[in-house]
Structure 1
Amino acid sequence: MQNLDYQVVEQAIEWLSDDRTIWLCTVVSTFGSSPREPGSLMVANADGQHLGSLSGGCVEEDFLARLTEGEYQLPAVIVRYGAPVGGPENARVRLPCGGILEVLVERMSATHENLAHLKEVLGALGGEKDIERQVNLTDGKRRTEPASATGPRVILDESQEVVRMRVGPVAKLILAGYSTVAEACARFAISLGYQVVLCDPRDEVTCDLKLPGDIEFIPQLPSLYIASPGACTPSTAVVAVTHDPRIDDLAMMAAVKTAAGYIGVMGSVRTSQARADRLRRTGGLTDTEIERIHMPIGLDLGSKTPAEIALAIMADIVRVRRGRVSVNA
């Protein structure tokens, strides 16, 4: 799956390869209402052609108008939209609900160094490991280094005049087996920009399924897919919500051997304790491996319906991906 940011970087590379200067824009921070999260990308060229988005409309129009008029000639600059009167002298666009949006604008000429940098970024987006882009605001110099898959996507270090941006594989949700909760999780995950894969070998369960086209269905035992090379990265969540130990237990046994950033299985506290004993006894899992599994899965919201349970699960996945401590502790 090639998400929008991946396509943006691909387009940037294509324009650089054609000896065209580009402007790569990254959402740095948002305050109040904003449709795009920090780390979101847009690229444009001097003719006003662009791909990606920053806000879904007004910001893009203002930026492109100023770009074609000859602005943004510095190698790197922070532009603030929605700033109050008397704020930094950047573009003034009124955002919904009084929101403020800060954007890093990088001017990149068609050099070998810039092309190599963006190819490294593209490799991270399509690969298995996260990297951190570091852009110096004083001279626009860029460097990369390995990064964790969790925590803030963008950090503006004003003391050092550096913007640090975490870049990595698209967030992915592997659903080990079908259930109404799994389907609800899939729909939530798609709306959050996740790649969704549903694995289930049971013909009697899946023969009449009508899933959204964005869900990749694989009629295979989930544990086999989970264990396959490249299936799980630190940006992957593995979720088992079938109540069928033949599906759920095997999925957990496979998932803890991978780099998956979130592993969870549905069940009550008593069921989870029994499963932990079973995984330790028959699956040979260590205490450290069992501790990686979120069981019971999800935030404690008092959920009852499949949609409410799915909401609790996806909220917990987002919490972990953002590097937040547990709210259930």
Structure 2
Amino acid sequence: MQSLDHRVIEQAISWLANGRTVWLCTVLSTFGSSPREPGSLMVATSDGDHVGSLSGGCVEEDFLERLAAGGYELPAMIVSYGAPADGMENARIRLPCGGVLDVLVERLPANPGNQAHLEQVHRALSGERELLRLVALTDGQAWLESAEPTGPKVLREEGAEIVGIRIGPVAKLILAGYSTVAEACASFAISLGYQVVLCDPRDEVTRGLTLPQGVEFIPQLPSLYIASPGACTPSTAVVAVTHDPRIDDLAMMVAVKTSASYIGVMGSRRTSQARAERLRRTGGLSDTEIERIHMPIGLDLGSKTPAEIALAIMADIVRVRRGRDPHSRLSE
């Protein structure tokens, strides 16, 4: 699955190769209502060509209009839309619900250095580990450094002259076996932009199954797929919600040997304790490996229905991916 970020960077590389200056725009932060999350990309040229988006359309139109008029000539700058009157606001743009959108705008002339840097970014988006793209606001210099597998998408301190943007492979959800909860997880994950793979070898369970559009179905034992080269990266979550130990336990035994950042299996606290003992006894897992497994899975929302359980699971996956404590408040 190729993400929109892939297409943005590929187009930027192509335009640079043809001698065209490009403006690379990155959403740094959003407050209030915004359809694009921090880290989202758009690339544009001065004649109005562009790929990607920053919001629902009004921001892009204004940006392209100002770009065509000769704006944004600095190597790097932060532009705010919907900011307070005493901020660097765009007076013509008011975002829904009083929202605020901060965008990093980089002017990248066609030269070998910018070409090589974006090719590195493209490889990172296709790779198996997270990297941090650092941009100096003073002169627009950009470089890549290693990053922790989980954490906020954008690192930006008040008054700092360097902005960090996490880049890496597209977020992926591996569903180990089908169930109604797995199907609901797939729907949520697709809407969140995840690549979703569901593995289940049980023909009696999956015969005639219709999955949400965008879900890749593999009629294979999940543990075999999870163990295959390249299946799991630090951007991968592995979830088992079948209540069938033959599916769930094997998936957990293999998943803890991978770099997946989230590994979880459904069950009550009593069931989870029994599973942990089984995994120690028959799977040979260490306490450290067992501690990697979220069981019971998901946030404690008091969920009862398959959709509610799936919501709790996906919320927990997003929490871990963003490096948030389970007890963090929204304003923190």
Q: State the TM-score, normalized to the length of structure 1.
A: 0.98
Q: Give the secondary-structure state (helix, strand or coil) at the position aligned to 1:157.
A: coil
1:109 corresponds in structure 2 to: 109
Contact 1:28–1:104, Cα closer than 8 Å, also in 2: yes
Aligned to 2:301: 301
Deviations 1:69-120 (A, max 9, x none): 1111111010010122232265641000111100000000111111111111
Deviations 1:254-301 (A, max 9, x none): 000000000000001110000000000000000000000000000111
**Amino acid aligned to 2:114:** N
> Counterpart in 1 of 2:264?
264
Partner in structure 2 of residue 5 of structure 1 = 5
Contact 1:80 1:91 (8 Å CA) reproduced? no
RMSD, matched Cα: 1.2
Q: Which amino acid aligns with 1:108?
A: L
Query: What SS does the corresponding residue of 2:315 show, helix, strand or coil?
Result: helix
AA partner of residue 249 (structure 2): D
- 2:290 is matched with 290
Look up the SS of the partner of 1:43 in the other structure. strand
SS of the residue aligned with 1:61?
helix
Secondary structure of residue in 2 paired with 1:28: strand
Deviations 1:138-157 (A, max 9, x none): 11111111111211111223
Could you say which residue in structure 2 is the equivalent of 1:168?
Answer: 168
The answer as to whether partners of 2:78 and 2:103 remain within 8 angstroms in 1 is yes
Q: Deviations over 1:206-254 (max 9, x none)?
A: 1110112300000100000000011001110000000000000000000
Paired letter, 1:80: S
For residues 1-329 of structure 1, the aligned pairs below 5 Å read 1-88=1-88, 90=90, 92-327=92-327
Please say if residues 155 and 164 of structure 1, whose CA atoms lie closer than 8 Å, have aligned partners that are also in contact. yes
The residue type equivalent to 2:308 in the other structure is E
Shift of 1:10: 0.8
Consecutive unaligned residues in structure 2, runs of 5 or more: none
Between the aligned partners of 2:159 and 2:179, the Cα distance in structure 1 is 50
The Cα shift of 1:183 comes to: 0.2
Counterpart-to-counterpart distance in 2, 1:268 and 1:92? 53
SS class of match (2:26): strand
How high is the sequence identity, in percent, across the aligned residues? 76
Quickly say closer, same or farther: Cα 1:161–1:91, change in 2 above 3 A. Answer: farther
Matches of 1:86 and 1:297 in 2, distance apart? 45
Q: Is residue 157–residue 164 contact of structure 1 (8 Å, CA) maintained in 2? A: no
Residue aligned with 1:29, SS: strand
Q: Is the 8 A contact 1:174 1:238 kept in 2?
A: yes
Give the Cα separation in 2 of the matches to 1:19 and 1:173: 39
Query: 1:83, 1:92 within 8 Å by CA — same for their partners in 2?
Result: no
Partner Cα distance (1:308, 1:91) in 2 = 41
- What TM-score, normalized to structure 2? 0.97
In the TM superposition, what whole-angstrom CA distance separates every residue of 1:157-188 from its partner, at most 9, and x where no partner exists?
34431111110111000000000000000000
Using a 3 Å threshold, how does the CA distance of structure 1 residues 282 and 274 change in structure 2: closer, same or farther? same
**Distance in 2, Cα, partners of 1:323 & 1:49:** 36
Structure 1, unmatched stretches of 5+, are: none
